Structure 1
Amino acid sequence: MTRSLPPHIEAAFWLLLTAVGYFLLASLSLYATKGADNIAAIWPPSGYFLALLLLMPARAQITAFIGMAMASIAANMLVGGSSLLLSAGFTVANACEAVIALGVLRIGGPGDLSFMVPRAVAKFCAAAIIGSLTGGVFAALLTGSGLNFFLSWTTTVALGMLIVAPMIVIFARMIASGALQNVPMRMKLESGAIMLGVALMTGATFSQSLFPGTFVPCLAVILAAFRLGPFGAAASVLVVTIVASLMTVHGYGPIAAIDAQPKVHVYFLQFYLLALLFTALTLAALTVMHRRLAKRLEQSNRLLLQAEAAALVGHWRVDLLNWTIQWSDQAYRVHGLEPGTPVDVEYSVDRYVDEDGQEVRRIIEDAVRTGEPFQYQGRIRRPDGVIRHVKSHGSVEFSRRGRAIAIFGTVQDVTEVVENARVLEAARSAAERIANTDMLTGLPNRRHTLAELEAALIEARDGEGALAVAIFDIDHFKRVNDNYGHAAGDAVIRRVAHRARGVLRDVDLIGRVGGEEFVGILRGSSAQAAEIVADRVRKAVESEAGLANDAPRVTISVGLARFDGDSDIEELMHRADQALYRAKREGRNRVGMAA
C-alpha cells in the first residue's frame, strides 16, 4: 500500500505507524494487565511489530526498528515506571526477538507467510517461540533477573506474537488484495455476529467462578475457525485473549479462582490461550486445505466426466472383498443404462455375448491370480438388444499385505472403430483383388500369377510337392480380331478363360499374363498328370458345345514344363515357352512337353 510513495515518505510512514501502534499497545498492556515482575500477562506489541515487519518492504525495516525502540523506551518509562537503562534493556530484548523470529520465517527463501497451510502455521509458531526464547535470554541477562523472569517474558512475548501477528497480517492482506471488498454483506454480518458471540461467551465464562466453563469459548472459536478460516481463528482468539486477560488479572473467572499465586494464574491463562490458538489456527488451515482439495477434486471429477463422455470411455471398480461393482456415468451409457441403475458383478459380465463372456472371465481370473494388468475386447448386448463392441483396460489393487482387494478398469465403446476397421479391411481386400485380377476375364493377372508361381516354385524346391507350368495361347488369334473385330476377340478370350478354369482342379491356378496368353500352375502334378490336365484344357476350348452359330471357333496350343530343379521362374517359364513354340510348329491345337 506504500509502493507509490517516495522513499523518504515511505520510511516516515512506517516509522510513524510502528512507533504509534507499538506505544499504544505497550502502554495499554502495562497499564491493564501487569503481572509478576512487572511483566504483562500478554505482550501484544511484539506481535504487532512482527506483523509490520512481515508486511513492510525490507528497505523500511531499519526505520521501523528505530520507531519501535523509541516507543518501547517511552512506554516502559512513562507507564511501566522503569528506568532508562532498564527500559533500554527491555527494548534491546524485544528487538532481538523480532530479528530472530523474522530470520526463522525467512529460512528457505523469501516469500509471503500463509496461514492457510498447516506447514506454514507450524513454521510461524516455531519462529515465535524461538524469538521469544531469545528475547527472554537477552532480557534476563541484561537485567540480571532469574528463571521466573525469563519464563514470564518468554510466555508473554510468545503469546503476543502468536495471537496478534496472524490477525494483522491476514487482515492487511485482505485489504491489499481487495478480498475484503468482495466479501458479501451476509458474510460480513455473519462474521460480526460470530465475533460478538465469542466475546459474550468469553465474558460469561470469565466473569464468574462458580462454574468452570473454560471450554465454552473454545466452541465459539472452533465455529469461527471453521466458518471464517484463518482470519476467524486469529480474530476470535484475540477476542478471547482480551476478555479473559482483563477478567483474570482483575480477579474474575475460573482461573483467578484457583488457589495459587497470581503468577500461577498468569501461566495457566497463557497456557489456555496458547492451546486455544494452536487448535484454532491448525483447524482453520486444515479446513481451508480441505476445501481447496474438495474444490480441486470436484473440478477434476467434472473434467474426468467430460473427458469420458467425449472419448466414450467409462471406468469401473470391482470390490473383491464385498463382490460389488461401481460404474461411472459413462460406463452406464456404454452399456445403454441410465446412470445410477443398480448393477452387480455378474450382470456386467453377463452383458457379453456367450463366446466373449467366457474369455472375459478367464482374463479377469488370470489377472487376479497373477496381479498383472490386463486388457480385452468383446461384444456386449445392451438391454435394447443392440450389440456394441467394447474394449477394457484394467489393473488389480492390492492391500499392504499383498492381497488382491479390487480391480479397477476402463471401458470404451469401440464399435465405430471396429466398423471402420472392417470397412477399411473390405476396401483393402477389394483393392487387392482389383490389383490382382484381370478385368477382362476375372482371372488372376500377370503380377498375381507370377507371385503364385514364385510361391509354388519355393514349395516344390523345398520338396513339398511336384509342380508343372502350362503356357498356352489362342491359335491364329489375330485372324479373329481382323475378321470379327476386337469385341469378338475379347469374347473369345473370356470364353477360353472360362472353359480353362472350369476343367482345372481346385489346387490349380490359371491366370492371364497378357493378350491371348495364359499360364496354368499345376501343383502336385507328375509329368503324365500334368499332360492330361493340359490336354483337358485344350479339348474344353476346342469344344463347340454351347457356341452360337456366328461365334468364332478357336483352339489353343499348350507348352508344358515340369519343375526339374529350375533355379527360378524365368527358367521354368522359358522351358514351357519353348514347348509352346514347338507345339505351334507341329501344327497347333496340341500340347507340347518340355524335355
Structure 2
Amino acid sequence: MTRTLPPRVEATFWSLLMALGYFMLASLSLHATKGEDNIAAIWPPSGYFLALLLLMPGRARPAAIGAAAAASLAANMLSGAPFLMAAIFTLANSVEAGLAFWIVRRREGEDLSFMVPRAVASFCLAVIAASMASALIAGGGTMLAFGGIGLDFFLSWMTTVALGMLIVAPPLIMLTRLVASKALDNATMRMKIEAIAVLALAALITAVSFEQSHFPATFLPVIAVIVAAYRVGPFGAAAGMLIIAGIAAWLTGQGHGPVAAMEASVKEQVFFLQFYLLALQSTALPLAASLVVQRRLAKRLEQSNRWLVQAEAAALVGHWRVDLMRWTIHWSDQTYRIHGLEPGAPVSVTTSVEQYVEEDQPAVRSILEEAVRTGEPFEYQGRIIRADGKIRYVKSHGSIERGRGGRSIGIFGTVQDVTATVENARSLEAARSIAEEAANTDMLTGLPNRRSTLALLNRALSAAGEGRVPLAVAIFDIDHFKQINDRHGHAVGDEVIRWVGQRAKATLREEDVVGRYGGEEFVCIFQGPSARSAELVAERIRASIEKADVYAEGPAHVTISIGLAAYASDASVEELLHRADKALYLAKREGRNRLRMAA
C-alpha cells in the first residue's frame, strides 16, 4: 500500500500513525498499572515504536522517529512529569527503539521472522541490549537532573521497556505481514474460528486467574499461551501473550488478583508481575518458533520418505539395516518386494542371509563379518531365491555404523535387483563373442581369416623369440586355380577353396592352426612338436588333397603347392612369411604339387 504513495504522503502517513499510536499507548500505560517512580509495569509504546520501525520504508523513518519523540514528550508531560524529565524519558525511549532496530537489521537484515528460532533469539538479544541502554540513559539523566535515582529505577525501567518490546512488537509485525501477504484470506473459516476461540479462551482464563486472589491460578495463563502456540503458531503465541499481559497488568493495577494480594510493596508486586510475564514470554515465542521448525522438518521428512519410496520402486533399490546390539534387521518395503515378500513380514538376520542360494551364502557372511571387523564399506553381488522360487541377481552396498568408542553398532546397506543388468551383460558378451568370432573368421571356409591368422602368428613368434616354443610356418595355395574358375565358374571355385581349407584342417593336429590368407592362399602355423615335424605334416596335407576327389561338377583332382619356413631368429612375422613365400614360389617354378623348404 505504502509503495504507491508519493514520498511526502508516505512520510506523513507513517508519522501520523506513529504519533497517534504512541501517544495513546503511552497515555494509557501511564494511567494504568504503575509501579514506583511513576513507571508503568509494561511500556507498550516501545514495542509499537519498534514494530513500526521494522515495518515502514526507510525514507519514512526520520519523520516517524520525530513524531514518536513528540508524542512521548507530550504524554509524559500530560501525566505530570516535568519537562526535563519528560525529555530525558523521551530520549531514552527513542534510543531503545532505534538501537533495537539497528541490532535486528544488522543480524537478520530484512528477513526477521518469528518462525525461526535463531531470528527470535536475535530479536530478544536486541531488546535486552536496547532496554539496558535505555535504562542507563533514563537513570543517568534523571540522577544528574534530580538526584536520588538508584538501582531499583534502572531495573524497573529496563524490564518495563523490555516487556513492551517483547510483548507488543511481535504480534503487530506478524499481523501486518499476514494482512499484507493475504495469508488471512487464504485461511479457512475453520482456522479463523479456531484462532479466535483459542485467543478468547486465553483472555477468559487470564481474566479469571487475575480477577480473584483466593486461588493461586497464575499457572493457568501459561497453559493457555502454550495451547495458542500449538494451535495457532507464532502469531497465536504472540497475540496470546499480548492479551495475557494486558489483562494481567490492568487487573493487577486495579488491585485485583494474586499479585496484588501479595504481602509486598507495590514495587515488589510490579517486579514480580514483570518477572512472571518475562518468564511466560521467554517460553511462548521460542516454543512457537520451535514448533514451526519441527512441523516443517516433519513435512520435509514425510516428503523425503515419499520420494525415497518412489525412487526405490523406480530403481528397484531397497534399503536395510542390521542392529548389531539387538541382532535385528529392518527392511524397506522395496527390499521386501525384491525378495518377493509382503512388506512387514517377519525377517531375521539369519533368514536374510539364507535368502541367497547356498553357494553364495558363505561369501555374503564373510564379506559382512569382515566389514564389521574393519569398519570399511562393503559391496557384494549374489543370487537370491524369491518366495515364488525365482532366482534373481542382487547387488548390495553398505557401511558400518559406529557408536561411542568406535564400536560397530549397526550395518546399513542397499539392495538392488540387477537381474536385468546381468542378463543384458550376458547378452552383450554373447553378442561380442559372436561379433569377435565373425571378425576373426573367414566366412567362406570357417577358418581364421587373414587378420586372425596374423594375430596368432604374432603371438607364436613372440613365444618362439623367447625360446619357449619351436615354430614353423607353411604357405600353400591351389594349383591352376584361375583355370578352375574359368572352366567351372566362381561358385565351383569357392567350393574348391572351402574343400581345400577343411581338408587341411582335418589333416592337422589339434595344436596346429590353418587360416585363409587371401584368395586361394592358406597359412599353416606349427608349434612345439609339430614344428619339428612340420615338413612331414605339410607333406601329408599335400598328399591328402592330391589323392582325394573333389566332386562330380568340379575338377576331378586338385593339387596344392607348399612353401615351408622354420623359425630362425626372424625379427618379424613379415620376414618369416617372406621366407615361406619364396619357398612356395620355388615349388611352383619346379612344377607345382610339391613342397619346398625355405633356406
TM-score (norm 2): 0.95
Post-superposition CA distance 1:407-456 (Å, at most 9, x none)? 22222222222222222222222122111111111111111111111110
Deviation of residue 530 (structure 1)? 1.2
Partner of 1:130: 129
Post-superposition CA distance 1:447-503 (Å, at most 9, x none)? 111111111011011111111111112223233223333222222222211111112
Gaps spanning 5+ residues in structure 2: where?
Answer: 144-148
Partner of 2:40: 40
| In the alignment, structure 1 residue 484 sits paired with structure 2 residue 483 | no
What CA distance in whole angstroms lies between the structure 2 residues aligned with 1:148 and 1:589?
A: 132
Deviation of residue 550 (structure 1)? 6.5
Contact 1:480 1:552 in 2 (8 A): no
* AA aligned opposite 1:400: R
Partner of 2:110: 111
What CA distance in whole angstroms lies between the structure 2 residues aligned with 1:581 and 1:6?
A: 109
Q: Which moved more, 1:123-132 or 1:304-313?
A: 304-313
What CA distance in whole angstroms lies between the structure 1 residues aligned with 2:104 and 2:471?
A: 92
SS at structure 1 position matched to 2:139? helix
Partner of 2:250: 246
Identity of matched residues, %: 63
| In the alignment, structure 1 residue 279 sits paired with structure 2 residue 283 | yes
What CA distance in whole angstroms lies between the structure 2 residues aligned with 1:351 and 1:177?
A: 57
Contact 1:492 1:552 in 2 (8 A): no
SS at structure 2 position matched to 1:41? coil
SS at structure 1 position matched to 2:533? helix
Partner of 2:468: 464
Post-superposition CA distance 1:263-311 (Å, at most 9, x none)? 1111011000000001000100000011111112222222222222232
* AA aligned opposite 2:465: R
Q: 1:259 to 1:448 in 2, by over 3 A?
A: same
Post-superposition CA distance 1:306-352 (Å, at most 9, x none)? 22223222222222222222222322232233333332222332222
* AA aligned opposite 1:393: H
* AA aligned opposite 2:162: A
Contact 2:550 2:556 in 1 (8 A): no
Contact 2:496 2:550 in 1 (8 A): no
Post-superposition CA distance 1:522-546 (Å, at most 9, x none)? 1113665112211221222123379
What CA distance in whole angstroms lies between the structure 1 residues aligned with 2:72 and 2:17?
A: 14
| In the alignment, structure 1 residue 15 sits paired with structure 2 residue 15 | yes
1:430 counterpart (421, 434, 441): 434
Superposition map of 1:342-421 within 5 A: 342-421=346-425
Partner of 2:445: 441
Q: Which moved more, 1:578-587 or 1:427-436?
A: 578-587
Q: 1:43 to 1:109 in 2, by over 3 A?
A: closer
Deviation of residue 120 (structure 1)? 1.0
Q: Which moved more, 1:389-398 or 1:7-16?
A: 389-398
Partner of 2:184: 180
| In the alignment, structure 1 residue 301 sits paired with structure 2 residue 301 | no
What CA distance in whole angstroms lies between the structure 2 residues aligned with 1:490 and 1:546?
A: 12
2:259 counterpart (239, 255, 266): 255
* AA aligned opposite 1:73: L
What CA distance in whole angstroms lies between the structure 2 residues aligned with 1:93 and 1:259?
A: 32
Partner of 2:56: 56
| In the alignment, structure 1 residue 231 sits paired with structure 2 residue 235 | yes
| In the alignment, structure 1 residue 102 sits paired with structure 2 residue 101 | yes
| In the alignment, structure 1 residue 171 sits paired with structure 2 residue 157 | no
Q: Which moved more, 1:203-212 or 1:150-159?
A: 203-212
Post-superposition CA distance 1:223-268 (Å, at most 9, x none)? 1011111111111111111221122222222222221111111101
Partner of 1:336: 340
Superposition map of 1:470-549 within 5 A: 470-525=474-529, 528-544=532-548
Contact 1:522 1:530 in 2 (8 A): yes
Post-superposition CA distance 1:22-54 (Å, at most 9, x none)? 111111111121221111111111111111111
Q: Which moved more, 1:264-273 or 1:295-304?
A: 295-304
Deviation of residue 109 (structure 1)? 6.1
| In the alignment, structure 1 residue 153 sits paired with structure 2 residue 145 | no
Partner of 2:294: 290
What CA distance in whole angstroms lies between the structure 2 residues aligned with 1:527 and 1:74?
A: 123
SS at structure 1 position matched to 2:330? strand
SS at structure 2 position matched to 1:505? coil
SS at structure 1 position matched to 2:107? coil
* AA aligned opposite 1:17: L
Deviation of residue 193 (structure 1)? 1.1
What CA distance in whole angstroms lies between the structure 2 residues aligned with 1:35 and 1:526?
A: 121
Contact 1:313 1:331 in 2 (8 A): yes
| In the alignment, structure 1 residue 81 sits paired with structure 2 residue 80 | yes
Gaps spanning 5+ residues in structure 1: where?
Answer: none
| In the alignment, structure 1 residue 222 sits paired with structure 2 residue 237 | no
SS at structure 2 position matched to 1:52? helix
What CA distance in whole angstroms lies between the structure 2 residues aligned with 1:516 and 1:265?
A: 121
Q: 1:549 to 1:543 in 2, by over 3 A?
A: farther
What CA distance in whole angstroms lies between the structure 2 residues aligned with 1:454 and 1:91?
A: 103
Partner of 1:139: 138
Contact 2:530 2:537 in 1 (8 A): no
Deviation of residue 114 (structure 1)? 0.8
* AA aligned opposite 1:517: E
Moved over 6 A (4+): none
Contact 1:46 1:98 in 2 (8 A): yes
Deviation of residue 63 (structure 1)? 1.4
* AA aligned opposite 1:76: N
Partner of 1:557: 561
Deviation of residue 70 (structure 1)? 2.0
What CA distance in whole angstroms lies between the structure 1 residues aligned with 2:530 and 2:318?
A: 63
Contact 1:315 1:411 in 2 (8 A): yes
SS at structure 2 position matched to 1:439? coil
Residues matched between the structures, number: 594
TM-score (norm 1): 0.96
Contact 1:468 1:525 in 2 (8 A): no
Contact 1:468 1:527 in 2 (8 A): yes
Q: Which moved more, 1:138-147 or 1:7-16?
A: 138-147
* AA aligned opposite 1:182: N
What CA distance in whole angstroms lies between the structure 2 residues aligned with 1:217 and 1:590?
A: 120
What CA distance in whole angstroms lies between the structure 1 residues aligned with 2:73 and 2:593?
A: 135
Partner of 1:90: 89
Partner of 2:3: 3
Partner of 1:324: 328
What CA distance in whole angstroms lies between the structure 2 residues aligned with 1:227 and 1:552?
A: 107
What CA distance in whole angstroms lies between the structure 1 residues aligned with 2:578 and 2:8?
A: 108
* AA aligned opposite 1:198: A
Contact 2:484 2:555 in 1 (8 A): no
Partner of 2:146: none
Q: Which moved more, 1:505-514 or 1:372-381?
A: 372-381
Q: 1:6 to 1:550 in 2, by over 3 A?
A: closer
SS at structure 2 position matched to 1:379? strand
Contact 1:542 1:553 in 2 (8 A): yes
Partner of 1:68: 68
Deviation of residue 96 (structure 1)? 1.4
* AA aligned opposite 1:113: L
* AA aligned opposite 1:594: A
What CA distance in whole angstroms lies between the structure 2 residues aligned with 1:12 and 1:52?
A: 14
What CA distance in whole angstroms lies between the structure 2 residues aligned with 1:105 and 1:126?
A: 9
Post-superposition CA distance 1:61-88 (Å, at most 9, x none)? 121122212221222222x221222222
SS at structure 1 position matched to 2:416? strand
Post-superposition CA distance 1:201-240 (Å, at most 9, x none)? 1122222222222111111110101111111111111111
Q: 1:165 to 1:468 in 2, by over 3 A?
A: same
Deviation of residue 547 (structure 1)? 5.4
Post-superposition CA distance 1:534-580 (Å, at most 9, x none)? 12212221233795597621122222211111111122112222222
What CA distance in whole angstroms lies between the structure 1 residues aligned with 2:586 and 2:58?
A: 111
* AA aligned opposite 2:217: G
